[in-house]
Chain A
């Protein structure tokens, strides 16, 4: 029997109060998430239980940390921040690969009452700068190999008071920096955890939009209630599980379900420093006896490409439940995983703003391959008409919307109230995705309702890419669109008009691709470039991105004269 039991019964009888009760939330000494991830587990007899199994990138070293060690090392990070003078509510960025310090410092930042701002370690200077500048981040915790990126932009960030390098050992710190070795630091047996309430800000995750710079979705400590119960019911995590979330905590999945959810449940979780490598992934499932695996469609489709034969070389019999997130999971992937692993991947849908899974396929519920599943119990969802914002009848394409009020919902876009307000219409939160709902109540993803590019589960804003492209000395005009891709759902494709005197050839393509990679990140880097003599424009001179996108998707755009007036 799964944790959720019957979805239909939970749909009828669940309210958030039950999750609060299970967590003994109302009697807890604080609502600080960190308490529930560390101290509470120790208090309920899990101090010596392994919380984190970590394997290094090379695969030749494994480290195990108990919940008591999570408590102690997070205490040490929290004390460091207090000693540095970080005040509650200040933003502290975590800019690290998936090393244990990332996980301990996340808990430590929350203990100190600061707001954790995790950023993906593949971000280069411009992407890092945009997000640190907007958040007025006061400290960044990073690694030797990444510190140079922070150093190169530090002068432009007046709010950034501290650069802390966590893996420099006992080396002499550079001027103006702090070198901190949590394993060598004096143990901090007790730390006075910041007395957060449910509405105290906790985590700031940046997400991309069609226009403008990335937006910071601010979450609060009360999000724990929803992250706990969704991890329990959707991911079906139990006390004896070894749970593996392949997401990086630079993105919301990696914090909500790579740290908060599983540890609130007292589960052991596996972290591989390594990115995607099929055989190493299978070897890790076998070696660490992974039972619950939360991954992404791009990875699953790449595993499909590797084929079934490689799977037979490994003992994957420990697996019990598989879940997917990040982009729609195609029906072939669901069917393939059932054939090859003996278990279907269960698709789940949510986004940075929702903070927790909102629509999903649940253990025990019939899967319709290709469907996103059904709304989480206690959540009201609908598909709305794009013009009237009223619910549409079954089978009609519309906007996915959620009735606000669930605990993990974001509370604001950082310093961007207008855009935050624009996400709510007729009492609904509009997700920005299009779908249909069928007669059985299953949701079916259709596509984004904007120009945001979803590549491998990462959202990329076209504006950010186009701005970077325009900084290249050879680029006169540019447009970035999502091109459909069988593995990544979409890849970034750039249309470029060069300045006179520059030659359009493969070397120029490589030069531009690397230029964007170095400025933004490998994710935002165009995978494909098409040179054009000039770009299609509206009468007011705006590049018609939609027309270019329609060319890639094969979508009928109809009369372009209307676009010309945009």
Chain B
């Protein structure tokens, strides 16, 4: 599931947050929030996407800027709640 999961997250991030025509490569460790690609307000839609796509519930207190800052971190969070 690991690579598929990261690919899916990456695809969503690129589709939703990378500006049209902008040449940005989103790697597993690319800082999304601290790098200015995803603003902290948009974390809400990213969280809802993960919850809808993977039928999980991420508690608000875990939905921090740090936890959503890279594809790696997001994937780890999803795995944690998918396994719970």
Contact = CB atoms under 8 A, between A and B. Distances in A.
A241 interface: no
A59 B34 contact: yes
A514 B16 contact: yes
Contacts of B61: 305
Contact of B31 (A58, A145, A522): A58
**Residues of A in contact with B, size category:** 20 to 34
A379 interface: no
A125 to B, nearest CB: 10
| Residue from B20, B22, B65, B66 with most neighbouring chain A CB atoms (10 Å) | B65
B44 A525 contact: yes
Nearest to A151: B21
Contacts of A276: 40, 65
Interface residues of B, number: 23
Interface string B20-51: 11100000000101111001111011001101
Contacts of B44: 513, 522, 525, 527
Given A148-B19, A148-B21, A510 B35 contact: no
B45 to A, nearest CB: 5
B34 A280 contact: yes
A144 B41 CA distance: 22
Nearest to B20: A148
A97 B41 CA distance: 15
Given A146-B19, A274-B34, A517 B49 contact: no
Nearest to A458: B41
Interface of B: 16, 19-22, 31, 33-36, 39-42, 44-45, 48-49, 51-52, 61, 65-66
Interface of A: 57-59, 97, 122, 144-146, 148-149, 152, 273-280, 305, 456, 506-507, 509-510, 513-514, 517-518, 521-523, 525, 527
19 contacts: A57-B35, A58-B35, A59-B34, A146-B19, A148-B21, A148-B22, A274-B34, A275-B40, A276-B40, A277-B33, A277-B66, A279-B66, A280-B34, A506-B48, A506-B52, A510-B52, A517-B42, A517-B45, A522-B42
